Chain A
Amino acid sequence: MITARDIQVRIGKKPILHGVDFVAKPGEVTAIVGPNGSGKTTLLRALTDEIVWTGQVQINGRDIGAYKTWDLAAVRAVLPQAATLAFPFTVIEVVRMGLRSGIHGDRDIVAQRALAMVGLGGYEQRFFQELSGGEQQRAHLARVLCQVWDPVVDGVPRWMLLDEPVASLDIGHQLLIMRCLEDFAKRGGGVIAVMHDLNLTAMVADMVTIISDGRVIASGPVKEVFTDASLSAAYHCQLRANTIPDDHAAFILPQVAQSVVSLRGEAITVAG
């Protein structure tokens, strides 16, 4: 379990988060959604103790302040929204940085498998800085996967905290990565992902928390939370949450755009 209670963050004089409560369970993908500047990254940074915050954050029942940096890294890996890299490292060298001592089996094989899982098999010896934006993002994700390779260790779940893991990926790789995260959760790990694509979120996430202007607007199972009212309130525009009849997944349509889309073709009409 990751629980956060009454998280408040202010940067300078400006309050960014006004008492946010947040819960994520192992075995589930928990999404955080909300408009630009609403405080999603800030919440994630509080959960990872990267900024000054007040309130309480517990990972697996223990205050994060009680963990040593090294022990904390053993239970959770973090993908930042934007990552930098100094020096011309190769892809495999970057991924290996996620490897920790105490991993089971051949460490190099783990790094290679992580790369293959994000669709970068064969990229090992390429220079990281020469990859495309989406490829770099996936390489960083492979590094994160390495860090928490086994989703459960000695009965203790491990966590991935990801800030927009699929932001610059094409649709095929978005699906690939989301399936990776789902799989990690199915095997007992916990995933917290900041997301912008509501449809992808509806498809993959078990739980979702909507944040707007530094407050939680709604939180719970996707189908309960993704309502016309909560989405429209969060994003300050008219949105409609529909359900695809076949597989009961929600999909979100902007109201204005709906008429535009229906003018153009039948695909959406069929889906609706």
Chain B
Amino acid sequence: MTISVDIQTVRRPMDRRTRARQAHIWLALLLAAVSVISLATGPTGTSLWVAMVKIIDGEPLTAMERVVIWDIRMPRLILGIAVGAALAVSGAVMQGLFRNPLADPGLVGVGAGAGLGAILAIVLGALLPLWIAELVGNALVPVAAFMGGWLSTIILYRVSTRRGRTSVATMLLAGIALGALAGAVSGILVYVADDRQLRDLTFWGLGSLAGATWSKVLIAGPLIGVAVLASLFLGRGLNALALGEATASHLGFSVQRLKSAAIVTVAAATGAAVAVSGGIGFIGIVVPHLLRLATGPDHETLLLNAALLGATLLLAADIISRQIIAPAELPIGIVTAVLGAPVFLWILLRRRGLVEM
């Protein structure tokens, strides 16, 4: 018997990998378009176009234009992109790590852990020794959020993984427990908080980009940027992990290092996003899921596409939140929940078998 392989006869239909790569370009263009709309939108009626024409003609901008576009809308735009990308990529990485499409930092308590870290920093930050306070400075809240997210991811992974198999049921239940614990501790902190701290705390519950400033961008931006970029290198490893930890290691991936990298990435991105924008839900689960339906689960393309689509959708939600009851604005967390929750239910309805408990 001989093995004859005739490649000519092998059918070669359009691969969805090609589509996934083309999606990088389309999603980047979409993000650019939404970014421009975001910069042009606001209650003051300051026109981006007028300002652009002035810049091109070399005319000076009015103080109003400078403040509105450069100091209010621009940091908000950058923060929106960073937070949207961070949430979507964290979701995709976490789903790859847990080998389950329902793992999402927001759902399983990582967001709550990060929020608790941030709240602790807000309320108890003043009690820190001066030299520590000076050392971390403005970064105290994001760093605390990162630690909270990191700790809860590790607890979650330890509790729900036995012999390389992660139980979704355990994961969701552990997430509920972590969320409840974080909520309870936050409740205690609310009692001891003063008025200014209370206002800061309320912001966590709702989630908003309204407080965007350049200093927040400088704190969260680099952390999220590094985490999102680093996650792009996890693609091949996460693909291999879909075959199980043993096979991933046979394929040449150091599984322990891969998992640690994934956990740190999720914690950094989620922690930083939560620190600057509070609890914004559903981006992390809806975006990767939509992309998997459209272009497949290959993490090599999924992660970048998730970053782009996550940023786009969050900016869109932010625009809606600013316009719908203008001149007041709705917290963006409400918008993503109102739009995201039905999509999430629809996902569950379509794929009931998805959660093998």
- Residues on A facing B (Cβ under 8 Å): 48, 50, 68-74, 76-78, 80, 83-90, 92-94, 97-98, 100, 109, 112-113, 116-117, 121-122, 124-125, 147, 175-176, 179-180, 183
Contacts and interface: CB of A to CB of B under 8 A. Distances in A.
B45 interface: no
Interface stretch (B69-77, B248-256, B304-312, B313-321): B248-256
A124 B254 contact: no
A74 B253 CA distance: 11
Interface stretch (B82-90, B108-116, B217-225, B236-244): B236-244
Interface stretch (B2-10, B49-57, B174-182): B2-10
A98 B251 contact: yes
Q: Determine the main DSSP class of B at the interface with A.
A: loop
A83 B244 contact: yes
Nearest to B99: A86
* Among A83, A97, A176, residue most surrounded by chain B Cβ atoms (within 10 Å): A97
Contact of A112 (B3, B7, B101, B242): B7
Contact of B292 (A68, A70, A88, A109): A88
Nearest to A78: B250
B352 interface: no
B5 A85 contact: no
Interface stretch (B11-19, B122-130, B188-196): B11-19
Given A86-B242, A89-B298, A179-B1, A73 B7 contact: no
A87 B12 CA distance: 23
Contact of A93 (B6, B7, B252, B298): B298
B100 interface: yes
B303 to A, nearest CB: 13
A125 B14 CA distance: 9
A175 B5 CA distance: 16
Interface string B97-108: 001110000000
18 contacts: A69-B249, A72-B252, A80-B246, A87-B99, A87-B101, A87-B242, A89-B296, A89-B297, A93-B239, A94-B243, A97-B251, A109-B7, A112-B10, A116-B7, A121-B9, A147-B251, A179-B3, A183-B3
B246 A50 contact: yes
Contact of A69 (B5, B12, B254, B296): B254
Interface in B203-241: 236, 239-241
B138 interface: no
A93 B1 contact: no
Given A85-B242, A86-B242, A89-B242, A73 B10 contact: no
B13 A124 contact: yes
Contacts of A74: 252
B247 interface: yes
Contact of A122 (B11, B246, B253, B292): B11
Pairs A-B, 3 closest by C-beta atoms:
A73-B252, A87-B297, A86-B99
A71 B253 CA distance: 10
B292 to A, nearest CB: 7
Contact of A124 (B3, B11, B236): B11
Given A72-B252, A116-B10, A83 B3 contact: no
Given A80-B246, A87-B242, A175-B1, A100 B7 contact: no
Contact of B253 (A69, A179, A180): A69
Nearest to B236: A97
A71 B5 CA distance: 30
A88 B10 contact: no
Interface in B1-52: 1, 3, 5-7, 9-13, 15-17
